[in-house]
């Protein structure tokens, strides 16, 4: 019996190495050279608390708990090893003056928390939306200052991009700084990931499901891809700057909730992996000592 327990525990402590999910590096037409703020020029403009800790056992779906990441992180994540049907819903490239508020409203109606990887100069352009996002329990994360292809830049330029975004978020949120970073287009070399983790303490967050909603502006496609790809510890990628993506979210969220998934922020998801690994290691040491 002890040997069987020890074998199963060994499976628990084996964590996935930091993987890189392949992604399209095609740049959106007009995006990089767009004038500030970085909002899709085809879009119409209307006229008018801290990183997240893992939820305790038995908590309701999407309930955010104030706190910080509780231990050392991996260099990069495309998913997390977690003991349950938890997923992180993540949104890139905002805030957007029209679609981000609409998204926040529908997430609030469902008591679901998400992670928003924001662009620094959009943060400066729309600070009230950033404040609302934070006040409603969502996680604000770093997506660079101007959304360039970082793999083509030197370290000094990359540092300006990362620091600029973190400072923009901190300036709006009274000193709160993001704990995770997502490189635009996922374009970040293995060396850069190691360097950013060491230099800034920021793990690079990639994804396990990409509906390519920036290119395929079809709500049914977006919802179907995210629902079919969702799995335990998954990181779902979407963009809160496209109406078709926001329109897909009620179906995505409602369907996954019905299937027993719980939505957590990236900070929560990482904490769950850290704690699961720590618990399994402690049990393994206890079991080995009793043999």
Catalytic machinery residues:
92, 239
Residues in the chain: 291
DSSP annotation of 116 = E
Check if the beta carbon of residue 109 is closer than 8 Å to that of residue 136.
Answer: no
Q: Is the sign of the CA dihedral 158, 137, 217, 37 positive or negative?
A: negative
Instruction: Give the closest residue to 271 by CA, choosing from 139, 91, 134.
Output: 139
Residues forming beta bridges with residue 79, ordered by sequence position = 234
139, containing H or E segment: strand 139-142
Check if the beta carbon of residue 208 is closer than 8 Å to that of residue 81.
Answer: no
Angle, nearest 10°, between helix axes 190-200 and 155-172?
50
């Amino acid at each position: 019996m002890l040997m069987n327990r020890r074998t199963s525990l060994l499976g628990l402590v084996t964590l996935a190495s930091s993987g890189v999910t392949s992604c399209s590096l095609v740049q959106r037409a007009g995006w990089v050279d767009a004038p500030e703020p970085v909002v899709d020029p085809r879009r119409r403009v209307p006229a008018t608390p801290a990183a997240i800790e893992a939820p305790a056992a038995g908590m309701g779906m999407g309930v955010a708990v104030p706190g910080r990441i509780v231990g050392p992180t991996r260099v990069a994540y495309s998913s997390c090893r977690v003991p349950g049907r938890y997923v992180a819903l993540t949104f890139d490239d905002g805030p957007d003056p029209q679609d981000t508020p609409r998204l926040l409203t529908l997430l609030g109606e469902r008591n679901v928390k998400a992670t928003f990887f924001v662009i620094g100069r959009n943060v400066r352009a729309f600070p009230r939306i950033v404040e609302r996002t934070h006040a409603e329990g969502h996680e604000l994360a770093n997506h660079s200052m101007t959304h360039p292809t970082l793999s083509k830049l030197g370290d000094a330029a990359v540092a300006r991009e990362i620091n600029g975004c973190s400072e923009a978020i901190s300036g709006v949120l009274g000193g709160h700084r993001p704990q995770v970073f997502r490189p635009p287009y996922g374009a970040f070399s293995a060396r850069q990931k190691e360097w950013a983790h060491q230099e800034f303490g920021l793990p690079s967050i990639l994804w396990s499901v990409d509906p390519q909603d920036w290119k395929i502006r079809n709500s049914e496609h977006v919802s179907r891809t995210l629902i079919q790809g969702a799995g335990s510890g998954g990181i779902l990628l979407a963009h809160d700057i496209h109406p078709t993506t926001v329109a897909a979210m009620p179906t995505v969220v409602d369907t996954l909730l019905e299937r027993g998934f719980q939505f957590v922020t990236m900070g929560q998801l990482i904490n769950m992996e850290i704690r699961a690994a720590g618990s399994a290691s402690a049990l393994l040491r206890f079991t080995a000592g009793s043999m």
